[in-house]
Chain A
Amino acid sequence: MTLTPLKRTGFGVAAAFALALPAAAQELTIIRAQDSNHYDPPRTTAQSGAEIIFMMSDTIVGLAEDMKTIEPLLASSWDVSDDALTYTFKIRDDVSFCDGKAMTAEDVAWSLNRWQDPETKSPVRWRMGDVKSITALDATTVVYELNAPHSELLYQLAQSFGSIIDKDTFEALGKDFGVTGFNGTGPFCWESWTPRDKVVLTRHEAYNWGPANYENAGPAQVEKVTWQIVPEAATRTVALLTGQGDISPYVPFIGYSTLRASPNIKVIKSENAFWTNYMGFKITKDLVGDVKVRQAINLAVNQEAMAEDLFFGEVEPAYSYVSSGALDYDTSLDDSLLKYDPERAAALLDEAGWILNSDGKREKDGKVMEPLTITFTGEWQQTSEAVQADLLKVGIELQIEPMDSTVYWGKSATDEFEMYVMGYPYISAGDALNLYFRSANIPTPNRMNWSDPETDELLVTGSQATNETDRAAAYAKVMQKVHDSAVWLPIYHRPMQIGYSTKLAPFVAHNIYGAGLYKGLQLAFTE
């Protein structure tokens, strides 16, 4: 099969329009909550890393806002062999890096090989599939060969991890690549990074190869972008209200109603965000080893009340582990989802032998039901406390151990808890399931210790499927399986919401890996 690039409607017009824009003060400040550990594409899995890497570099293919349409980017077209093992990418010959050097197929192959290289220690190498080889045939052709089909390959290659960077700059900077400097082909170029304060990017003047989901293929319509970190949630709201920042995808839920009421601010929302917050069960632990207990906990928690009271109705209460809008979500799951029903929860606990004792707590064989959850401080702690209060009503005494995020990641890789908290972005059901439910991914990200040979097999079947029906069928079975076992307590699906100043032209929010502004080509001042 051959995929040809979509006609870039109005490409020329848009480019001409962009160039004709008046050169007013075109400096944009984006308010964000936290920094990334560094900005080296294959080595950072932070959302805060991805959102800047997308702006500074390009991937071989792009993804449209609908999270389903693959757009040509550095590759103008591609062929996939009938056995789905060989992808041949035609690489554009008119692309240059920020330092002016032309980009070739060689750079593409080198960047992807670096992602794959065990020495890079990329935590997301599995996203590339079972790679046989990635080679540059000539200056404009890259051949990506697999040992087994990987049905999501193009989606994965659109992620920030596969961003194409300049080999020379990387070799010159070594470990400091993405720390003291960066050289990519993106719409913006690295100017400076002050850790935990800000990242400053300047416009890549030569850029005109933006993906077709944007009217403006380049160059960017603002000259400078500053990603300013403001750790306090309330301060971010104020910064936006007072014009100290122009855009923020990190407004606290409580702030949105204020922003919407403000004449100077608009809020856009996208339901295709595919970001789910959940609490997982360490199913190998005694207290939560029984599926009935896990189901009871699911039934005892009132996600709807939490969505309204804790998150001010800005989120969608979650009962499934993957948002229903995501690719390969199986709607037959809808009827079996565990929704708020404390009476059934109590009955299940009784059935499982956890009887209410004289203190009103659940007890079995002299042991009290007091599972421990670890949690991040901040919003997650509030969430845990709400879950704690709900569980108390059925006699479960949830213990909460809040910790700083720097401690949390390490702790969550241990066996020292019954429950943990996590929020994660995904592009499809398959992406989510492969990430969490492969037994090979124990202890992280499979913190549940979910080890099931059939799941493993189905996940392989799904990811190696060469047609959409087989893939969807395999993933649907896994979905049913893990939901039946209640290995998670889903809390909410978070929409992508971005508050922005009315000085900016309206735009559509993106959702890839939680990076709502994606390449930033749409950002423009109207005044």
Chain B
Amino acid sequence: MTVTTTNIPSTTKASNGIKGDVSQEITAPVRAHWMRRLLRDRAAFLALLTLTIVILGAIFAPMLATHDPASNSRSVMTPPAWMAMGKAEHWLGTDGQGRDIYSRLLYGARLTLLIGFLAVGLGGFFGSLLGLLSAFNEKIDPWIMRTMDVLLSFPAILLALALVAVMGQGIVPIVIALGISSIPDCARVARGIAIGVMKQEFIEAGRAVGLSNLQLFNRYLVRNAISSIMIFISLRFGQTILIGATLSFLGLGARPPASELGMMASQGRDFLLFAPHIAVIPSILIFIIVLSANVAGDALRDVLDPRLQA
């Protein structure tokens, strides 16, 4: 308490006392390019850097991998190189089948990120489209939103189970299930944002100059709402990855010998007592990806969302 009292008056004084100058000083850096502002935030910078490294690793997995991720060897459950009994050949160790964990991690991240991107893309696209339409046209609004309420009551895991039962195991049903479960959230948020935009005067103006509904929707609504919606979708990414990994952990995701981070963690579960690295290493990577995605998403919102800049 005593510490803050010395600080707060100084800033309030500054902003209140010399009105014009200080507000200029404060808003000037805020107006700086959003990318620069984002990178100035140390946590966001680290998160973005981590994500970039993981994504690059996933993209260039075939070049970076030291072993064939599906090929087994006779050295099973080798611990990571820095531990006793570790081997330099497998620096993150091997799993219960004698497969190189580092190489599987690269390919696993590939699949995990792919599932995340596709699912968020699918859910984000259809969700925001429905939300925008809902806000744009009051007649279809209740229909869309009540459908969203129904979808909202469907847990992603249950939906995935049902889809896997029908379509068989693979990443397609997982992507669809995760995508569908993202739709209602995205739709609600998009609708909220769009309703705000629809109240703006330029919409009225657009109508007055005789723009068609399509033009109004495309040029005025979508363009003004899209950045806020994208922020929400980016926040959704980490969560989707996590649910995707959960589904793979439950044995619903990729088919072996493909590797997926959740599946790798699940395969290590039986050895947790004796060779914890098999489950722990992929789990740590999931943790890092999700944390980075969330921190980066938050930071992105901080710098981009006009409502938070007040």
Known: A234-B273, A310-B97, A392-B70. A404 touches B256 (CB 8 A): no
Residues of chain B contacted by A234 (CB below 8 angstroms): 269-274
Residue of A258, A388, A399 ringed by the most chain B CB atoms within 10 A? A388
CB of B71 within 8 A of CB of A255, answer no
Residues of chain B contacted by A470 (CB below 8 angstroms): none
Interface hits, A234-254 → B, CB 8 Å:
234, 237-238, 252, 254
* Cα-based distance from A503 to B270 in the complex (angstroms): 27
Tell me the interface secondary structure of chain B in the complex: loop
* Cα-based distance from A446 to B78 in the complex (angstroms): 40
CB of B274 within 8 A of CB of A309, answer no
CB of A254 within 8 A of CB of B270, answer yes
CB of A381 within 8 A of CB of B96, answer no
Chain A proximity mask over B251-273: 1 for CB below 8 Å, otherwise 0? 10001110000000001011111
B171 CB to closest chain A CB (Å) equals: 14
Number of interface residues of A (CB under 8 A): 31
Known: A392-B71, A402-B256. A309 touches B98 (CB 8 A): yes
Chain B proximity mask over A384-401: 1 for CB below 8 Å, otherwise 0? 111011101000000111
* Cα-based distance from A305 to B71 in the complex (angstroms): 14
Residues of chain B contacted by A399 (CB below 8 angstroms): 255
Q: Does A377 contact B (CB under 8 A)?
A: yes
Residues of chain B contacted by A388 (CB below 8 angstroms): 70, 256-257
* Cα-based distance from A323 to B72 in the complex (angstroms): 28
Interface hits, A445-492 → B, CB 8 Å:
none
Number of interface residues of B (CB under 8 A): 23
Chain A proximity mask over B54-86: 1 for CB below 8 Å, otherwise 0? 000000000000000011101010000000000
CB of B168 within 8 A of CB of A389, answer no
CB of A389 within 8 A of CB of B74, answer no
Tell me the interface secondary structure of chain A in the complex: helix
**B98 closest partner in A (C-beta):** A309
* Cα-based distance from A254 to B168 in the complex (angstroms): 31
Residues of chain B contacted by A310 (CB below 8 angstroms): 76, 96-97
Residues of chain B contacted by A381 (CB below 8 angstroms): 251, 256
* Cα-based distance from A399 to B74 in the complex (angstroms): 22
Interface hits, B208-260 → A, CB 8 Å:
251, 255-257
Q: Does B15 contact A (CB under 8 A)?
A: no
Residues of chain A contacted by B251 (CB below 8 angstroms): 377, 381, 402, 404
Where the two chains meet, the residues of B that have a C-beta atom closer than 8 Å to any C-beta of A are: 70-72, 74, 76, 96-99, 165, 168-169, 251, 255-257, 267, 269-274
CB<8 Å pairs between A and B, sample of 11: A234-B270, A234-B274, A254-B270, A309-B74, A309-B98, A381-B251, A385-B72, A386-B72, A392-B70, A400-B256, A402-B169
Given pairs A389-B257, A402-B256, 6 additional interface contacts (CB within 8 A): A254-B271, A255-B273, A388-B256, A389-B70, A399-B255, A407-B165
